Amino acid sequence: MSAAAPIAAPFLLGMMRLHEVPELHAPARLADWLEARLDEGLAWFDHADIYGDGQGEALFGAALRARPALARRVRIVTKASIVTRERDASPLAVKHYDSSPAYLTAAIDRALARLGVERLDHFLLHRPDPLMDAEATGRALDDALAAGKIGAAGVSNFLPEQWRRLQAAMHQRLATHQLQLSLDHAQPLFDGSYDALLADGLAPLAWSPLGGGRVMTGPARPTLLALAAERGVSPAGLALAWLRALPGQPRPVIGSLRVERIVTLQADAGLALDRPAWYALLEAARGHEVA
């Protein structure tokens, strides 16, 4: 089994809304878009099986089949374990989580088929499942790693004791934790969960790094605008620099597919934020200074 690819990029491109962007649905058009991003040095793409009920992965895979050379260049993160109400085959039609080996093994195979790639670089459990049999789930992940179907296993939205219970049942190391983290949601920095993931060697990925726009419209807005103007970057670029200043340099997962937005954020990615500016943004976002 080859080693997992390190996530060496200023940010990942989130594919959650790909199915909502008709102008990228034609395989050749999306292939052009992907090739442009790859040529810009952006190779990491974040998926999940529930994004468009599989449409996101299927559209992405169609583009790779239209231009097969791209499949060797892209790096894929995808997630599974959420069963939406529409996908629940039981009479109850209830949204739930499924971390069973049968479900996860099938989810990995379905993702590989939709995406048209030979390996998922990172496969994450999308949400913690209270019914998880850690030994069985860990064995399924170890088996997928040994088979070369996934390059690394990880988790998303887990608390420390949840990922540690899974890790204790595995032979291979969990590599990644995707968590909600932004100026609008800084709680993991103060409740010990962010420190725990660093201590356990998990690479942090930050979903909703701009708080779904709330970072840009909330109480930190005046400070963001002022500091961004001083430093010659966009306010969004400054907000992402706030994240990257953290130990472990969490990689943001950005949701925009607009080329202009992506180019701007990449141009701003070299900003190193000084400590007073970091704390000024934190104070502005929370509405009070640190103790």
**251-272 confidence digits (pLDDT tens):** 999 999 999 999 999 999 999 9
Residue 28 maps to which CATH number? 3.20.20.100
| Spatial contact of 37 and 12, defined as CB atoms under 8 Å apart | no
Concatenated DSSP letters of 64-97: HHHSGGGGGT-EEEEEE-EE-GGG--STT---EE
How big is the chain, counted in residues?
Answer: 291
pLDDT in tens, 56-113: 999 999 999 999 999 999 999 999 999 999 999 999 999 999 999 999 999 999 999 9
- 39 inside domain: yes
pTM over 0.95: yes
pLDDT of residue 6: 77
211 φψ region: left (φ > 0), alpha (ψ -120 to 50), beta (else):
left
List the catalytic residues.
Answer: 51
Residue 4 in any domain: the answer is: no
CA 189 vs CA 18, 27, 179, 217, 246: distances in Å: 31, 41, 11, 22, 9
> Residue 2 pLDDT more than 70?
no
- The chain-wide mean pLDDT, for the chain, equals 97
In a domain, 56, yes or no: yes
On whether residue 5 sits in a domain, the answer given is no
**Residue (of 180, 200, 287) closest to 243 by Cα position:** 180
Do the domain assignments include residue 1?
A: no
Half-sphere exposure of 136 (CA within 13 A, CB side): 12
pLDDT of residue 8: 83
Look at residue 251 and give its three-state secondary structure.
strand
Q: How many folded domains does the chain comprise?
A: 1
Mean pLDDT, rounded, for 4-21? 92
Reported as a pLDDT band with limits 50, 70 and 90, residue 3 is low
CB 34 within 8 A of CB 74: yes
Please give the residue range of the domain that contains residue 277. Answer: 12-286
Q: Where are the beta strands (DSSP E) in the chain?
A: 12-14, 44-46, 75-80, 82-83, 96-97, 122-125, 153-156, 176-180, 203-207, 251-254
Does the residue 242 lie in any domain? yes
Taking only the tens place, the pLDDT of each residue in 187-228 is: 999 999 999 999 999 999 999 999 999 999 999 999 999 999
Q: Is 66 part of a structural domain of the chain?
A: yes
What six digits make up the tokens of 88? 């629940």
Residue 2 lies in a domain: no
Residue 187 CB neighbours (<10 A): 11
